[in-house]
Structures are given as structure tokens and as C-alpha cells.
Amino acid sequence: MRKEEIFARTRDFASRPGTLAGPRDLGPLGALPGPEGVLFRVWAPRARSVGLRVEGPAPPNDYSMEAEGEGYYRLFLEGALPGTRYRYLIDEKTLRPDPASRLQQEGVHGPSTVWGASEAPPPRFPGHALSDLVFYELHVGTFSPPGTFEGILPALDHLTALGVTALELMPIAQFPGRRNWGYDGVYPFAVQDSYGGPDGLLRLVREAHIRGLSVFLDVVYNHLGPEGNYLSSFGPYFSSTTRTPWGEALNFDGPDSDHVRHFFIEHLRTFALVFDIDGFRFDALHAIRDQSPHPFLADLSLAAENIGSRRGRPLHLVAESNANDRRTVIPVHREGLGLDAQWSDDFHHALHVILTRERNGYYEDFHGMTDLLEAFGKGFVYRGQPSRSFRCRRGSPSEDLPGASFVFFAQNHDQTGNRMQGERLSSLAPPEALPAILALVLLSPGLPLLFMGEEYGETRPFLYFTDHGDPDLIEAVRAGRKNEFGAFSWTGEIPDPGDPLSFERSRLILTDPSKDLSSSQRSLIRWTARLSHIRKSLPALAPPPRISGPDNLVLSPGDRVFANLRRDAASESRTLLLVNLSGEGRRVSAAFIKEVCGLSAPRPLLDSLSMDGDLSPDPLPDPPDLLLSPFRALLLSEASP
């Protein structure tokens, strides 16, 4: 492939006929190797000149780069190979790594390294429909003893058997040091070297696809980390008018913002087409500052649609946002942002309040069972009502949105790691409640998400940890962590994020589920797999076309008793999920089951009292009432005639 073809092959953002105009194609970024050499290209409008310095065992060589216009510089270096170490020389005096570097083998302050993907064709993989996604969120560094992509491979068969269909990796962009959640990344295109770099990621994706697993990346498009962040040396990547709680906001709506947008759209394109990634989860969408009439996120959705069309399977986009804004998942042609789904924090908060009775911080907005019913039946609890913790109205109507527009979870990295002591729900709730929690998540009308270790009731904490080199920054992180807990009444000493022990305490010790776990933990794994299997096998349990409607009814037949009646319109089949969320026995009347829910001959499909055993195919006996022991979860259907 010649240098002209290297440049041309990346032009794949042109809109398809009949669709809205997509973002401008401004060409490739970074170092792209080919048989004849490497094309280097960078956007640096703040520079009067840009050169390329090639570093290595031999004395460094400097090369002038050609100015293209609009701040872009390029150079095709014949004979250069993958593995070449380089930096850009700005105005003949300042050396900086490549903002679009693919590999930072010497950390965030060192030179960039040219990297090229293997030419081996990827395995054929059809992907998953949105409604078939069951997410498993994991942190690469703490999921396995080696803390690498390679360390995940032995667990892939376990996750497949569990019923998971999509790995969701916490951010993997190059960050300072070796210990970080990933939200301090400063090189979006570079895969963290301590995790195994781009080669390790490529192998993980291919092995996952062989097993039928999709792979999602958690990406941060609202800010970049502070240490090793050199983008301002090149151009106006950051907003001059606003900030996020974690640093400077990115410039998606000011002067030169088309080029900043292109940088991040090119990032998405690279990981979708080079690494064969199946979807992205966007961190803190509410912190992406954009007042333009053509929102960056809508541009991103159009680009994802075109990429999905090109490779023959969808590229899914999922948002994390505390705004509860329906426009996030409304199609672009209907003046929405066009993403596929968004996290429902409200479901988590309502369930957490029931199980722990905590009411501080943002939990003060939630009151237990009533809110859980609202979240399960409408996606969001806050749909325009005033919020005490936000001190303003929050949310917009969600009743008419598809069930698959929402991601439901009882735990994730935020809700665990942003507690002072990083406690998991398995440490806060009674052990006998864990099967019921899994039933609510995996049989929800949305897309379920499990956090690593949740399937067996992991009790090790997941703490916040960093590995910065700047002493002032280390102290600032400690102070910020302390201030963050001001709205909560938690007591005790805050674990030091910079202490390696905070990282080690968060590491899972699971290597072989058949050997490393107790019998009760293995039983919980089998229960999780049964829940996933029955979710996939019963049409009535598929995400409904409208989350609030006849196919998804939520009721409460008694104090702290949850009931969800699901229906498949085509087959007219019904299921009834009953969950006792109290520590005391509760009775559900036969009249409720038969007259209100329409199950005249209810047959048990799943029962948390028999997590390992087969259930009788016969209908339940006909007592006056059904007894639900503490935290019992029971799934019923109409017995076949």
C-alpha cells in the first residue's frame, strides 16, 4: 500500500444516501505505517512550524513537516517501521509526544512509538442486537492477578457460560503510572502499556469474538487527565469558557471545534475499525459542554451509523449521564443525540436505599419501593420533578422509550468505588439478598449490567487509586477525595488513592471459579447463569418496545414486595417476578396472582430458594396465599394446558 492509499483509506465518514450530513472528514491522525514507510500527521494550529524527531539508539534525526492548511502538518517518512520512537518538535524548540499516539512505552512523558495492527483477518463476528446485550463491567488492572488483557483471557469461557454477551472495559487510554481507574487518561488513541498495549487489546477482542462476546470500551470525551496532558501545546483542544468538575472541558462548540470533534471521532473510528470494537460507553455525558446547533454527540452517532453500515454490524453507543435526558436516545433525525441506551442511576439509587436505608448525598432523593417501581416501570424516577440533591428540576419524560434504552445495574465502578471505603453491595446488604438483587437486574426490562465479581458475591472493596508522579497533584487528589465525601455522613479514614495498597486491596483473586470459590459462591454463579438463560429463552422477558405499557407492568402487592408482570404480545405469554425485599416473610394473595396478574395456573420457573435444583413443572398448589420468605425471588409463568 502506497502513501496515497494510506491517506485515502481512512476517508469513510461520507454520509450514506438519504441520511443527514455527517461530520467533515479531515483525514487521519497519528502515525500510520505501510510497506513503504510511515505517514505522520498532526493538528497543531498554535505552531508556526512542526518537525518530526526520530529517536532511538542512534543519534536523533529531525525532519520538517509539510503544512497542509487549517493547522495540519504531515510527513511521509520512507523506510520507517513500526517500533520507531518519535516526538513532534514545535517551533524548533519544544518536544512533545504525539496527541494521537498509538503506544507510549515509556509513559505519558516519553516519546511515542509507531504501532501497526497485524494483517491477520479478524474472526467473523455478527455482533449482538441491542436488546441481547448483557454487560459485564471490569477494570483490567484489578480483574486478574497479572492485571493485563492477557489475564482476562482465562475468564472468557466463565463469562460466556454466565450468559454475559458484552465485556465493558473501564477506560484503557494511556494514563500516568500503572494504577488508575482510567479516567485520567491523556492519550486517547494509545492503549495503556502496562495492560499489554494495543497488541494485548487486539488479542482480547479476537478471543472474545471467537466465543461470541462483544467488547465495549468506556471512553472519556468530557475531559483529559492533568499529568502528561500536552494537547494545549498543539491547539485549542479545551474550552475557553467552561470547565468540568475534573478539569478543563473539551472544545466542542468554540472556534476550531470542528477539528477537536474530528480528533475524537477519528478515535472512535480507529477503535471500531482497527480493533474491531463493538460499542462504546461514554463517561459523564452531562459534562460534555456543547451549545452548538449541530451537537458533537449527534455527529458521533452519525459516524457510528456509517461505520456500522460499512462493516455489516451495529456499533452501539451507550451513555452515562445524570441528566435523565430523553434526547440522549432520540434519533438524530428527530433532533436527538442518537445514542442507543443510557445508564439508569435512578434504578440503582432506589434499590440501594431499600437495601441499606442510606439517605445521605444523592440518596436523599429516593424513598424506597415506590421509586424502585417507578424506575423499573418507566426507566427514570426523575422525569422533570425537583431534586433536592441537584437543587433543580431533573429529567424528562421516559415512559414511551424502549426498554433497551436503559441499562440497569445494582453495582458498578462508580457506585462502589466512590464510596469512602469502596464497599460492594454484597458487603452492605444481607447475603441472602444477593440472589434477589441479581434477579432484579438480569430480569429487568432494560439491558442488565454486572460489575466484576458480582456474579459470586465478591466482598473485596473496589477503591479509588492513582499513580501520579507529581507530589502536588498527589496531594490535590487526596484533598479532592476528602471534599467529595462532604455530602455523605460516612466516617473513618479515607484510603489514600496513591497508596499501592488501595490498588492491591481492590484486586480480584479469582483465577478458577471451580476451585477458588466457596460452595455458596458457586451456587450464586449458577443462579446468575440460570437468570441469564431464562431471560434469553422467554420472549416475555425481552426488553419491551415501550418501557411503560402493557408489556411491562410493575406493582406492589404488599409492604416491600416487588412484582413485575411481563407479557409478549405475539405469543400472549406472561411471566410474573415476585421479590420480597424485606428481612421478614411476606404473603402475596392468590387473588393478586390470579385476578390482578391473570395467572390462573402459575408455574414456578425460577426460585431463589432452589438456586441449584430443578423445579416441579406442575402449577403451584392452591393455598389462599403465597408465602415469600425473606429476600425470596420467584419467577412464575402460566402453566401450559
In the set 137, 305, 320, 455, the catalytic residue is 320
Question: Residue 411's CB: how many other CB atoms inside 10 A?
Answer: 24
Contact (Cβ atoms closer than 8 angstroms) between residue 516 and residue 456: no
> Could you please report the per-residue DSSP string of 284-335?
TGGG-----SS-HHHHHHHHHHHHHHHHTS--EEEE--SS--GGGGS-GGGT
Q: In the block, which residue shows the cell 422477558?
A: 541
> Could you please report the per-residue DSSP string of 190-247?
EE-GGGTHHHHHHHHHHHHHHTT-EEEEEE--S---STT--GGGTS--EEEEEEETTE
Handedness of CA 355, 359, 361, 366 (dihedral sign): positive
Main-chain phi, psi angles of 144, to 5 degrees: -135, 165
Give, in order, the Cα–Cα distances in Å from 260 to each of 28, 71, 232, 339, 442: 13, 12, 12, 20, 39
Neighbour-count burial of 493, counting CB atoms closer than 10 A to its CB (0-12 exposed, 13-18 middle, 19+ buried) = exposed
**Helix (H) or strand (E) segment spanning residue 400:** none
- In the residue annotation, 283 being an active-site residue is answered as yes
Distance between CA atoms of residues 533 and 531, nearest Å: 5
Distance between CA atoms of residues 614 and 469, nearest Å: 56
**Helix (H) or strand (E) segment spanning residue 466:** none
Contact (Cβ atoms closer than 8 angstroms) between residue 600 and residue 619: no
Tell me which residue of 464, 531, 504, 525 sits closest to 181, measured CA to CA. Answer: 464
Q: In the block, which residue shows the cell 438463560?
A: 533
Single-letter amino acid, residue 158: H
In the set 98, 266, 276, 283, the catalytic residue is 283
Give the residue numbers marked as catalytic.
Answer: 283, 320
